Chain A
Amino acid sequence: MNHFTLRDFAITVGSLVIITVAIAVTQHRTLPFTLLAVSQAPPVSVPSTHVTTTLSDVHAPDGTRKLTMKRVTLTATESAYVVTTSDISGANRTVLYQTVLPVSDDLILPPNSWSPDNKFVFVKITSPQGLSVQVFQSNGEAFGDGQPAVDVSQIFHEKLPDVALRDVTGWDDPSLLHVMTYAADKSIGFSYWFDMWGRNFIELAHR
């Protein structure tokens, strides 16, 4: 007859503790909205044994430039993203944004990323916490306040606390982002313009 010894008990408990700690560590993550300035963030190192996947290119409307995103699988639970702009040929590449996201999150290049004058691009990050929308200057330069990007979603939550961000679809003009919302009762809400210069939201008239 086998007896469960004190040694067996210690091994079992120890294993459970290790597994629990490992799960806790992998589940802990920073907010997906945290940005690393290009100048501050260390380059994301890509082990050569990992698969590099170019996920998407989005052309500027006039076809002269493109926005490119590369995703590198780091582990089973995390991927690194690098977003760049370049000429349509791939020359004159500029890194706009680098980040590491858990698999529950996704970085998307919308089809209407580019402002019609090619001055700005926006990306979307989806996560269980919601939608994050970041606007960059396509030349990689910081904005006047020294920030590398404008966090449209953060400003939205500050200025329109009674509605929820549904989507940002594109540029209604060179500096106006088209923003769609949910009302407080979860029905489709009004659409807004986000004014890049004034950093404010303008409610749109319905058709």
Chain B
Amino acid sequence: MKQKKRTKRTHIPWILVAFLLTGFIIVVVALYMLLFRVDGTAYCANSISCVNDLTGSFQPGKTSTFMGERVALPSSLTNLQKSSRVLGETTAVKHIYVDLSTQTLTAYEGSNVAMSFPIASGRWHPTPTGDFHIWIKLRYTHMEGGDQADGTYYNLYNVPYTMFFYNDQVPKSAGFSLHGAYWHNNFGHPMSHGCVNIRPEDAGKLFDWADPVTATTTTYATADHPGTLVTITGETPDE
């Protein structure tokens, strides 16, 4: 009588399975952290709101809070008008430079300075350096972040003239941007949680000037209408 040949089964020890599984999870988590971490710290400039509000719409009746105080939106910012620029208005290459050492922004059109003014970069979290592109422009947005425990919590509605930027190291989800700031007036000195704060009057001019040309309350950069290049350099002064 022929005996049925028993196929040999390879038994993997449970401990090896557990080890491999754990290793796999660690690799996945590490890859995720690598992709979304910025300078080894928190990956979202506005730690609570991030990039959740991309409507660009004005939110009436909302009360903003900054460092424990209510902040009112100036009446001059409650009805921001659409840009009067048109496509193809200028062919000169545009480039925004932010110098963290001097806390200034200079916008170039070709070799000409289009505008220059003081800014306020990251005090509570560093503003990233490098070359970036604007990927979206929002007439208004909501920003929330900071920490109640150390008094840095903020919940700011209708932040005007926001231009989010990104590069290969700083993804869109990290939520760093150039934007108007109506809750403080200490420009020329680091103030923010990583974004580049600009006086509303200056932010409006930059918003209208920068690409892509703003068509509505929310304008995405595209391959045909890319966002303006933003170069951020220098070291934030220790104040």
Contacts and interface: CB of A to CB of B under 8 A. Distances in A.
B184 A116 contact: yes
B188 A61 contact: no
A178 B186 contact: yes
Contact of A207 (B72, B76, B182, B238): B238
Interface in B185-218: 185-191, 199-201
A205 B200 CA distance: 27
Contacts of A116: 71, 74, 182-185
B37 to A, nearest CB: 19
Interface residues of A, number: 25
Interface in A146-186: 169-176, 178, 180
A114 B239 contact: no
Given A61-B182, A111-B118, A174 B69 contact: yes
Contacts of A112: 185-188
**Interface size classification for chain B:** 20 to 34
A171 B76 contact: no
B168 interface: no
Interface string B144-185: 000000100000000000000000000000000000001111
A59 B199 CA distance: 10
Contacts of A180: 239
Contacts of B67: 172-173, 176
A63 B200 contact: yes
Nearest to B77: A62
Contacts of A175: 69
A171 B186 contact: yes
A64 B204 CA distance: 13
Contacts of A62: 74, 76-77, 182, 200-201
Contacts of B191: 172
Contacts of A171: 184-186
B124 interface: yes
B201 A170 contact: no
Contacts of A56: none
Given A64-B76, A207-B123, A207-B238, A173 B200 contact: no
Interface in B60-86: 66-67, 69, 71-72, 74, 76-77
B127 to A, nearest CB: 12
Contacts of A170: 184-189
7 contacts: A61-B185, A170-B185, A171-B186, A173-B66, A173-B69, A175-B69, A207-B190
